[in-house]
Structure 1
């Protein structure tokens, strides 16, 4: 019978297209991964990969074998992970990706309660505004918005991802009033550059009556971080369009005001992403259920809504 290690080396190499990439994810050397795959090929009596100095691709038999074993490998790994629970409680390292300021403001404050409930789980939380490869980089879960679902990943919606216009009271007092979206053309805009694409996205505005309007402002500055955009707006440097979770703290403190409160931009949903497995590891299931529970108890979906 083939060892789980050899099959895992094959599956990861097939997914990533490289022994070297697979070795980094598995914590082995490229030579060890290649040796395990060669041993698997020898035992099966078929060639699984076409190899060259520049590329690694599956043979027809290799592709068929990958399709047949991938799902079973995930189930076996999940079962092993769940058996590793301590005293019947979820255990292990929990690798999660989340936005920098969002994670610090809303998820990190939950850490104490989470650890008290699940003392055998070790959080390995990554605060980064860039989208990660959930499966390829070995993450158990990720929290974010407007992410295209790759194969093998599912999303649990947490809240709307609405964006609103904000500015300081000092800025608004010194400028012409903003009563309609058309008035924004006479104002300084604090624009955000997407860390994923590098583009400056132009969001259309909409209101409760389902009317739409273009967002047109003079570009005063371009920033890549929503927290920086809120701080620049707080300094009276212009009007910023930011997601409600980032703006909410400033609004509650009174250092920013909402501009055109009947208008907002719809960015889709804020969601919790994790692997699509019938048997999730206990640590992942515990985290998913805990975050969903906290969002419900703190009414974060309502607080993050612009409506």
Structure 2
């Protein structure tokens, strides 16, 4: 087979009545505006050229798309079907072109982000300088807090949240699972005993932290059901790091994030208890008021946050 024949066969294999996107766009505009002459005026061509393009499209499809008379254009059933599909297809093509164009440009503008204090300090903060070096046209306002800030009132663009579910009306992108653990030091357990059931916690000194709420009701898993057990102790604080240090020092039992105390569990500085009762119903989310793909800087921030939490298990 000659090269010319091969090329001819390839053309036939790839041929489509929609290969002429200009005619398809003209058809969509004509349906929406309802006039050859008005479409022609807006794009600075002749009405005859618009009519010829659409007639050519009808010929390739072997379908009448528009019925014409002296006063108006009427879309046929075939034309309406084509219009609905064409609008979606052209929108996807335009979005693809915009996204590829974005690859060549740096995101710009200002972002306000918030995250829980511990997660922000240990997982996000070490990486933020490199993020700003990579995108020097971005500016950030960062709030690491134990309080849950209102995205609307505080004009927050991205909030990192530890949650079971996210408030209605917000967009949530899961970043990582969030596993917790009950634990204490070997010395504390040797002196006070190892709790065997969640109810045993009432007889122990429990180290209570507070974030946006006082955490004196610890979640407990019984099979597939979730419950809570009331705990008390001689330390209440808004610092999870203080709780961590107090537990290592042998003061009592703590509930904390596994990622933060994994090394202490590995070395034996802390010992896990009640492992079968720890619920696993929470996750870490990036919470937004709008879709991340509607803003280049939002999309880059979400990808950055995914990298920050990629190693959590």
Q: Same fold (TM over 0.5)?
A: yes
Question: Residues 185-236 of structure 1: CA distance to partner in whole angstroms, max 9, x if unpaired?
Answer: 331111233x434x444133126x5476753545332222322221221221
- Per the alignment, residue 203 of structure 1 pairs with 218
CA contact 1:181–1:215 (8 Å) conserved in 2: yes
Q: SS state of the match for residue 123, structure 2? A: helix
| Greater radius of gyration (CA) | 2
CA contact 2:146–2:238 (8 Å) conserved in 1: no
Going from structure 1 to structure 2, the CA distance change for 1:126 and 1:261 (only over 3 Å counts) comes to: same
Aligned length: 213
Deviation at 1:257, TM superposition (A): 2.3
Aligned match of 1:232 in 246, 260, 265? 246
Q: Which moved more, 1:101-110 or 1:211-220?
A: 211-220
Question: Residues 137-171 of structure 1: CA distance to partner in whole angstroms, max 9, x if unpaired?
Answer: 12211112128745652111122333321211221
The answer for unaligned runs of 5 or more in structure 2 is 1-98
What TM-score do the two structures reach when normalised by structure 1? 0.59
The answer for unaligned runs of 5 or more in structure 1 is 1-81
Going from structure 1 to structure 2, the CA distance change for 1:113 and 1:181 (only over 3 Å counts) comes to: same
CA contact 2:217–2:229 (8 Å) conserved in 1: yes
Q: Which moved more, 1:285-294 or 1:109-118?
A: 109-118
Aligned match of 1:99 in 104, 109, 116? 116
Question: Residues 65-105 of structure 1: CA distance to partner in whole angstroms, max 9, x if unpaired?
Answer: xxxxxxxxxxxxxxxxx9xx997111223211011121111
- Per the alignment, residue 110 of structure 1 pairs with 127
| 1:136-215 → structure 2 map (5 Å cutoff) | 136-146=153-163, 149-150=166-167, 152-193=169-210, 195-197=211-213, 199-206=214-221, 209-210=223-224, 215=229
RMSD: 3.0
Aligned match of 1:264 in 272, 278, 292? 278
Distance in 2 of aligned mates of 1:184 and 1:149: 30
Aligned match of 1:275 in 264, 279, 289? 289
CA contact 1:102–1:246 (8 Å) conserved in 2: no
Going from structure 1 to structure 2, the CA distance change for 1:278 and 1:186 (only over 3 Å counts) comes to: closer
CA contact 2:208–2:232 (8 Å) conserved in 1: no
CA contact 1:152–1:276 (8 Å) conserved in 2: no
What TM-score do the two structures reach when normalised by structure 2? 0.58
Q: SS state of the match for residue 203, structure 1? A: strand
CA contact 1:226–1:246 (8 Å) conserved in 2: no
| 1:23-42 → structure 2 map (5 Å cutoff) | none
Distance in 1 of aligned mates of 2:200 and 2:168: 44
Question: Residues 105-135 of structure 1: CA distance to partner in whole angstroms, max 9, x if unpaired?
Answer: 1111222442343232223211111111113
Going from structure 1 to structure 2, the CA distance change for 1:87 and 1:119 (only over 3 Å counts) comes to: farther
